[in-house]
Chains A and B, each alone.
Chain A
């Protein structure tokens, strides 16, 4: 790989790459992000390559494994260029048909297309699918066009031109000013102005200065950063080098969770390629600016995503936070000035440099500029990654892009911001999403996790879920977080077990408030959000658990019983055979009965009972009806006769 020694050589290389590419040559792209990979995209890719070989089309069609497209619900995703025909849920069995019909004959295969769940209409092109159409993908967009393992793909779409512009046409001060003017705020959740953070590190005394990429994405239900790391890491590297130039740093540190093996792999490959072209190392593009990076794998600790904890983890120690009366931007890794930004923040930088702060500030709300990538998951039809301008309403995200709630169920809550965030109820669906608006509702935008919950979700159970999570992940250094969480967990465990008592809610609120005020780091300070926000919007559910010993959503194990409706039971023995506790009595043509004393409430019977019977019911807050008398248990097939039993 020859080094690129000047901006002109970079442009020459770009022209050379493009000249070798025929935009009209068919290209089959395959989403190869973690989710599609898990559903078998690699098998599809191999099948495509084999089939092309078999049909002697190997030289006429390109195959490209790209990063995550974001429509994870319908993977593996195949998009055929130049038309952008989009096939979903593709299996290896579909491949020969795709090649012979679509590639050779230009015919569309209907069954692999997106079908609008509301109108039943088929959609042929990727850009017309509502999930994509309603998004503004400026940061995440290139993911679907490039092979993350190929730096040439990134250069072909204009990659590293912002770096070249910053190094040759701008002084470090001008770069810093541009980023400050863009009002870019940290995408990791804190929302601190990026330019100001850079400036602090730049002005802090001490050498060397470090710039850090935080990819310790730990919020459950959030995977935006992973998709950028896996799918388009060059955009992050480019942003990082520009930041280093503005700050005056020559060493970069990339912290990535080892739970993301594909991200670790693609990050390392991207760095090697960038080094090969001389985009990392000494005298970048002949500018005289030197910059190197090192990768640190995180070893699995949620709290290590906090900036000061992450920096101690980089030093090879236990990743615990420290009080921040001295900012890490002044004294961080090895006590040197260290600027840490989130993956998505870095990926925004090349765009701001290329298109200018004015363009950037034209997107978004008054105090939150640009777009944000959200991970839209849970009880929603179109699970996936969604990039929208700041200020888009929750309703637009869930219903227009997400396609609403599956199974005709009713929306109950949206959980945002991970374990530090809160739950927002239905009446606030029209709230515009940005840093400040969600905070007003007692939640946070956070790093971008959005978990949709429907009527079958118990909000007390959700609060307990987050408290459980935080209890395990609290490092234990400060008392309010360590002890507060333990007490809260005990109270919530009591409530979901039917042992809640009057005064519990007030006690939860009191402990929550102390934790928010007195904890050492953001983990403890925000740990009360899931509790306080669920109390604020769903107090009736807490009351039902405490006063009536009833779980309205039929979730809390100790408050529900399983019961077989004799009117609906078809005596098929499915539940009986699957019951791990031998708690179901019955035989062929003999209506089944659950022995409540043996039932361990695992829910297997509920799951296996065929939907056309739906005989297994959950009951909460009311006694289980007594078993029907023996003489009435013999199943009568005739429906009329069955009705007569009443």
Chain B
């Protein structure tokens, strides 16, 4: 891990109060997860106990304390998607990737997550892979979509 990158991010918030969450979000965006080393560096620089940083990082869903796969698959479980059959889509993705929501495949290609609403309810049920939105999903669409990513 590049400690300089972490320092650079922290330097962007000098003398500001209450920036812990903002820094963690930036680290997450930069590295795609929040490694232990990053937390230790934050603790050293910001003079905040490691335990406190862990508490914040583990409370919010936006930060991942484990490495993420190359592609992020998000299945929306918002209410609108739910009544249009989202649980079946999730089931199918879990069966296909052989992981549960929140896990990463062994080959580190996919991380699967559920989200509570993407606000594209008109397209529901929705599955998003990285930045690509796939709407009006059917269980039979899942394999074809996932095969496009490697």
| Residues of A that sit less than 8 Å from B by CB | 34-35, 38-39, 72-73, 75, 218-223, 226, 258-260, 296-297, 299-302, 313-319, 334, 375, 377-379, 383-384, 415, 418, 449, 451, 453, 457, 462, 465-466, 469, 475, 578, 580, 600, 602-604, 607-608
Contact = CB atoms under 8 A, between A and B. Distances in A.
B116 to A, nearest CB: 5
Contact of B79 (A220, A314, A316): A220
A498 B61 CA distance: 32
B123 A578 contact: no
Interface string B72-86: 000001111011110
Nearest to A221: B79
B135 to A, nearest CB: 7
B25 A378 contact: no
Interface residues of B, number: 44
A605 B59 CA distance: 39
Given A220-B117, A296-B18, A607-B140, 16 more contacts: A34-B119, A39-B135, A218-B117, A221-B79, A222-B119, A258-B25, A259-B62, A299-B62, A315-B17, A316-B19, A377-B122, A469-B77, A578-B140, A602-B91, A602-B139, A608-B140
A38 B135 contact: yes
B129 interface: no
Contacts of B59: 301, 318-319, 475
Interface in B7-41: 17-22, 24-25
Q: Which 8 A-B pairs have the closest CB atoms?
A: A223-B119, A299-B60, A38-B133, A377-B121, A316-B18, A300-B61, A220-B78, A72-B122
Contacts of A384: 122
A457 B115 CA distance: 21
A276 B43 CA distance: 36
B121 A375 contact: yes
Given A301-B59, A383-B121, A469 B19 contact: no
B138 interface: yes
Given A299-B62, A334-B17, A379 B56 contact: no
Contacts, number: 146
A560 to B, nearest CB: 12
Given A299-B60, A462-B83, A602-B92, A316 B122 contact: no
A602 B140 CA distance: 11
A516 B80 CA distance: 26
Contact of B117 (A222, A383, A453): A222
Contacts of A314: 18
A419 B46 CA distance: 37
Nearest to A530: B79
Nearest to A384: B122
Contacts of A259: 62, 115, 118
Given A299-B24, A316-B19, A415-B79, A35 B119 contact: yes
Contacts of B17: 315-316, 334
B121 A318 contact: no
Nearest to A72: B122
Interface in B48-82: 55-56, 59-63, 77-80, 82
Given A316-B56, A602-B92, A35 B123 contact: yes
B60 A301 contact: yes
Nearest to B132: A38
A538 to B, nearest CB: 14
Given A220-B116, A451-B79, A383 B63 contact: no
